[in-house]
Amino acid sequence: MSGDNPAATFRLEALDVMDEVERALLDLGRRLGDAQLIDAVFRGLHTVKGSGAMFGFDDLADFTHHCESAFDKVRKGLVPATGELVSVILAACDHMRGLIAAEADVAAGQVFLDGLSAALAGAQGVTPVAAPSAGAHWRIRYFLPSGCLANGINPLALLAELRELGDCQITALTDAIPPLAELEPTDCHIGWEVELSGAITREDIEDVFLFVLDDMEITIEQIASESTPANDHLPTAETGAIAEADRATKNTARVSETVRVPADRLDDLMNRVGELVIAQSRLSQLAEDSQNIALRSVSEEIERLAGDLRATMMVLRMVPVSQLFGRFRRLVYDLARETGKQIDLVTDGEGTEVDKSVAERLFDPIVHIIRNSCDHGLEDAAARRAAGKPEAGTVRLFAHQAGGQVVITITDDGKGIDVAKVRAKAEANGLIEPGANVSDHDIVQLIFHPGLSTAAAITNLSGRGVGMDVVKRTIEDLRGTIEVVSRPGEGAVITLNIPLTLAIIEGLLVRVGQGRYVLPLSAVEECLELSEEEDRRSQGRSLISLRDRLVPFLRLREIFACDSPPDPFQKMVVVASGDARVGLVVDQIIGSHQTVIKSMSPFHRRAAAFAGATILGDGSVALILDIGHLLASAQPREERLRAVG
Amino acid sequence: MPLADTMTNRTNIAWSPDGTLEVLTFDIGGEIFAVEAVLVQEILDPLPETRVPGADPLVHAVINFRGRVIPLADLRVAFGMDTALTGEDARIIVLQIEIAGDPTLIGIITEKVNEVTTFLASAAEPPPLLGLRWPRDLLRAVVRRGDDIILLPDLATLFAQVTAPSGEPATLV
């Protein structure tokens, strides 16, 4: 983490905390009254308030203070948590994010505060959960962690907070102070013994130490209790505190093992590793050509190391999709409120990892798909009852890894896609001939076609100008595929196949004329030899029959205008994306190749057949073919419709 | 022309206040050309070229410049010169120019690299209206030096047509 701009660092961390608060709030919305969640929200708000004030975000601190005090009431059991309160605080969280980013209008905060007081008033009137026992006496002995001063903990502030609780006698414990020669002046060696009396519960005391509890020594004991009920809840409070401390320790452990690194430094490292891989493959080629055994063994060693390094590098950039999925919970929560439908979001496979940049670029398309599912797919409660389904609709997000790809499915249990409507619309737009023999499956894929939206009325939710065609294009830019399966009356499943990373792909190296080209191996279906006879026969047309299927093909020699004579035995590589496939005729199939992708400069923007370039073992450059572009250019009209969807 | 005259971007370097401009001169198609010296990153021996099918003939290929894939431009295409000519003295000059605000490396093919020299603004003239075989807007200036005439191409205009996203000339910022 760079320390040169504390405000920027604060922003990053505060946004993380806000994410945690939001997560806890969303959970709380389902399990009102879960004390751990209430604590988590309170802790998060308290942190944002405290560190906000420290870094000069006074408006933020001020605003957060109100939310924190509201939650303090909930935590103390003065006010029960209600759905209304949760949703007000969620809205307030958005305002806090705005304040953190210094974008929000400070005055706009008043609206949220008004909502907050209304929600609090509404929640009032239910009897508080636990009343503090009157007149308890407590003895607290504690030693702060020795490094606490360096961590910004102020022992005086803790004592002041204790003093606020009630009558208080404080004795300093000085027996742990080492002789002067061994004294570490920046450490805290003093302990304290505090005797407290008044209407105080154990929780009140623990609250004071909430943020230091994890690695300090503390004993809290009740002396000469005047009221017995306190004993009843002592054991539970004890276990609660232990669980709390446990969790806190786990949290700190996780934080200390994480290093925040700017993404561009990772990109730099990635580039270096890419160049190392290229240099290494040159070395191994030299070593193979030489008779020098020692050189060969060193080369093999370096090959192994470079491979490991590359694998490690890839993992560094990986983030679990839970980060992505977490952001959709809020979306679904809001959608449910907007549409008045009951919607459950179920996520699974959150541990699946994907490259950070891929994860970021997946957010918008998935948002759109979920919006569509909630808005058009899921029926309202009455219709669902009539169809014999549970009233609450379910949107299921599931991720898993399959080979070099991450598969993400978004399933809803709504009414499915109206095939007849899509067909009618497609016919009206001239996408298909009226009455053309196109299967339902292919028709449904047309929802990804530009200018085809089946929503009869454009609503606030999905009619925001981004169509499913944009979703499809974004996914294809990631070299992924998208497919939809609809079961009428049961719902729709949208499947995204996304490559794990954008930086390195497994490629198939081919030669066309003098030039060498790379095909993404994930798109290659099969390689076959075009017999001389077949080659001649197919000169006049561009379709070949492959296992009872007609596959269009492209002679890359012609497209690339090669003037050298063709090899006698032409090969064909069949590549596919979704349902569309095309055969590419090449002179030679060289083999698989670890391809470090370099993007094309703006000078070659118009050479659309290429997705990028890579450097081969001998130092020469090979171009990477853009499968999507080749597929689109090979499909005749109807076929193209299917490919473009 | 107004484009080239008002250019203050990082591709077409302005004359310094004392009326000089440092340039690197080279030969192509029997003429002497010059590029602004501060743009020059490196001078390379010819490298294996990888043809990019479908690319503009001006930037017909890419090369591997130390692990980076950079475009290779042949100015002879723009000036209607014979592109077949290569000799022992052929070199590639690698320039760093700016495309839409992003620094971009590009190699240009030369038949011979001459020297780094200083142009005097007093010896420079705008491209004459008559007597040129080439479109005027491809040149920033024509500079007299002894008996020679040196051409200072307008790289921003030259490359703008190729790098524009949709075939229209790029707006240079």
Of A65-69, A236-240, A276-280, A577-581, where does mean pLDDT reach its minimum? A236-240
CB contacts < 8 Å between A and B, how many?
Answer: 81
Q: Are A409 and A395 in contact (CB under 8 A)?
A: no
Q: Name the least confident of A59-63, A120-124, B71-75, B126-130.
A: A120-124
Q: Which of residues 42-101 of A touch B (CB under 8 A)?
A: none
Residue B1 confidence (pLDDT): 37
Are the C-beta atoms of residues B97 and B155 closer than 8 Å to each other?
A: yes
Does A4 lie at the interface with B, CB-CB under 8 angstroms?
Answer: no
Q: Is residue B4 pLDDT above 60, yes or no?
A: no
Mean pLDDT of A471-498: 85
Rounded distance between C-alpha atoms, residue B163 and residue A150, angstroms: 55
Between CA A547 and CA B57 the distance in angstroms is 41
Task: Return the domain boundaries, chain A.
Answer: 6-123, 136-256, 263-316, 319-499, 504-637
Q: Distance between CA A365 and CA A342 in Å, rounded? A: 23
Half-sphere exposure of A487 (CA within 13 A, CB side): 7
A268 vs B contacts (CB less than 8 Å) = none
pLDDT at A6: 76
| Nearest Cβ partner for A606 among B48, B56, B64 | B56
Q: The tokens of B143 are what?
A: 């500079």
pLDDT, tens digit, for every residue of A577-631?
Answer: 766 788 899 999 998 887 878 888 888 877 778 888 988 877 789 999 988 777 7
Q: Residue A279: its chain B contacts at CB < 8 A?
A: 67
pLDDT at A69: 82
SS3 of residue B53 by DSSP: coil
Per-residue pLDDT tens for B31-75?
999 999 999 999 999 888 999 988 888 999 999 887 789 999 999
Q: Whose CA is closest to A634, among A548, A560, A543, A572?
A: A543
Residues A416/A492, Cβ–Cβ less than 8 Å: yes
pLDDT, average across residues A101-124: 78
What is the structure's pLDDT at A461? 42
Least confident interval from A114-123, A235-244, A261-270: A235-244
Nearest-by-Cβ selection for A607 from B53, B63, B68: B53
Alpha carbon of B114: minimum distance to chain A alpha carbons (Å): 27
Mean pLDDT, range A270-291, rounded to an integer: 81
Q: Write out the H or E segment, with its range, that includes residue A573.
A: strand A571-577
Is the per-residue pLDDT at A542 higher than 80?
no
Answer whether residue A456 shows pLDDT above 60.
no
The predicted structure's pLDDT at residue B111: 92
* Highest mean pLDDT: which range of A269-283, A424-438, B55-69: B55-69
Higher pLDDT, B108 or B68: B108
- CB pairs under 8 A, 24+ apart, for A78-82? A78/A128, A79/A120, A79/A123, A79/A124, A79/A126, A79/A128, A80/A32, A80/A33, A80/A123, A80/A126, A80/A129, A81/A28, A81/A32, A81/A33, A81/A38, A81/A123, A82/A32, A82/A119, A82/A122, A82/A123
Tell me the pLDDT band of A3, cut-offs 50, 70 and 90: very low
> Which CATH superfamily includes the segment(s) A504-637?
SH3 Domains (2.30.30.40)
How far is it, in rounded angstroms, from Cα A63 to Cα A65? 5
Could you tell me the pLDDT band of residue A154, with boundaries at 50, 70 and 90?
A: confident
Kindly provide the residue ranges of all beta strands, DSSP E only, lying in A164-287, ordered along the sequence: 167-173, 191-198, 217-223
In a 3-state reduction of DSSP, which class is residue A45? Answer: helix
* Residue B106: per-residue pLDDT: 94
Give the model's pLDDT for residue A453.
Answer: 56
**Total of domains in chain B:** 1
Q: Which of A79-88, A251-260, A314-323, A412-421 has the lowest mean pLDDT?
A: A251-260
Question: What does the pLDDT read at residue A183?
Answer: 81
Q: Is residue B10 over pLDDT 70?
A: no
A15 closest CA partner among A103, A84, A74:
A103
Q: What is the mean pLDDT of chain A?
A: 78
A417 in Cβ contact with A484 (< 8 Å): yes
Report chain A residues whose CB lies below 8 A from the CB of B44.
none
For residue A379, pLDDT over 80 is answered with: yes
Residue A127 has pLDDT above 50, yes or no: no
Label residue B165 by pLDDT band (50, 70, 90): low
pLDDT of A217: 78
Nearest CA in chain B to A558: B53
Task: Please indicate whether, in this complex, the C-beta atoms of A601 and B162 are within 8 angstroms of each other.
Answer: no
Q: What is the CATH number of the domain that holds B55?
A: 2.40.50.180
B-chain CB neighbours of A607 within 8 Å are 52-55
User: A579: which 2 tokens?
Assistant: 């349902």
A613/B50 touch (CB, cutoff 8 Å), yes or no: yes
ipTM of the complex: 0.83
Asked which of A247-261, A400-414, B89-103, B112-126 is least confident by mean pLDDT, the reply is A247-261
What backbone phi and psi angles, to 5 degrees, belong to B87?
-145, -175
Query: Nearest CA to A362 among A264, A471, A465?
Result: A471
Task: Kindly give, in sequence order, each residue whose CB lies less than 8 Å from that of residue B56, ignoring residues fewer than 6 positions away.
Answer: A603, A606, B161, B162
Which residue among B51, B54, B165 sits closest to A515, beta carbon to beta carbon? B51
Interatomic CA distance for residues A240 and A235, integer angstroms: 8
Cβ contact B13:B36 at 8 Å: yes
Of A64, A41, A68, nearest to A54 (Cα)? A64
Residues of A in contact with B102 (CB under 8 A): 602
CB contacts, 8 Å: B70 with chain A: 601
Question: Among A317-326, A405-414, A590-599, B10-19, whose mean pLDDT is lowest?
Answer: B10-19
Cross-chain residue pair B53–A278, CB shorter than 8 Å: no
| Within a domain: B119 | yes
Q: Which residues constitute the domain of residue B36?
A: 2-163
Whether A621 contacts chain B with CB within 8 A: yes
Residues written for chain B:
173
Query: Do the Cβ atoms of A474 and A364 come closer than 8 Å?
Result: yes
pLDDT at A560 over 50: yes
* pLDDT in the model for residue B32: 93
Which pLDDT does position A538 carry in this prediction? 60
Q: What is the pLDDT of residue B33?
A: 94
Minimal CA separation from B53 to chain A, in Å = 5
The answer on pLDDT for B9 being more than 70 is no
pLDDT tens digits, residue range A190-246? 888 888 877 777 777 877 777 777 777 788 887 764 444 444 444 444 444 444 444
Classify residue B172: in a domain, yes or no: no
> Are the Cβ atoms of A608 and B54 closer than 8 angstroms?
yes
Mean pLDDT value across residues B125-140:
80
CATH architecture assignment, domain A6-123: Up-down Bundle (1.20)
- Return the sign of the alpha-carbon dihedral for residues A95, A96, A97, A100: positive
- Chain B residues at the A interface, defined by Cβ less than 8 Å, are 48, 50-56, 59, 62-64, 67-71, 73, 99-100, 102, 104-106, 159, 162-163, 165, 167
- Considering the four listed CATH numbers 3.50.4, 3.30.70, 1.20.1070, 1.10.10, the one that applies to the domain covering A136-256 is 3.30.70
- CB crowding A548-582: b at 16 or more within 10 Å, else e: eeebbbbbbbebbebeeeeeeebbbbbbbbbebbb
Pairwise CB contact (< 8 Å): B48 & A619? yes
pLDDT, tens only, A328-339? 888 888 888 888
pLDDT at A21 over 80: yes
pLDDT band at residue B8, thresholds of 50, 70 and 90?
Answer: very low
* Chain A residue closest in CA terms to B65: A619
Write down the pLDDT at residue A493. Answer: 92
State residue B22's pLDDT score.
Answer: 92
Specify the CATH class of A319-499 in words. alpha beta
Q: What is the pLDDT of residue A31?
A: 80
d(CA A594, CA A537): 36
pLDDT mean over B96-108: 87
Residue A398 pLDDT level (bands cut at 50, 70, 90): very high
* pLDDT more than 90, % of chain A: 7
Cα of A384 vs its chain's centroid, Å: 31
* Three-state secondary structure call for residue A614: strand
Interface of A with B in 584-603 (CB under 8 A): 598, 600-603
Residue A563 forms contact with B (CB below 8 Å): no
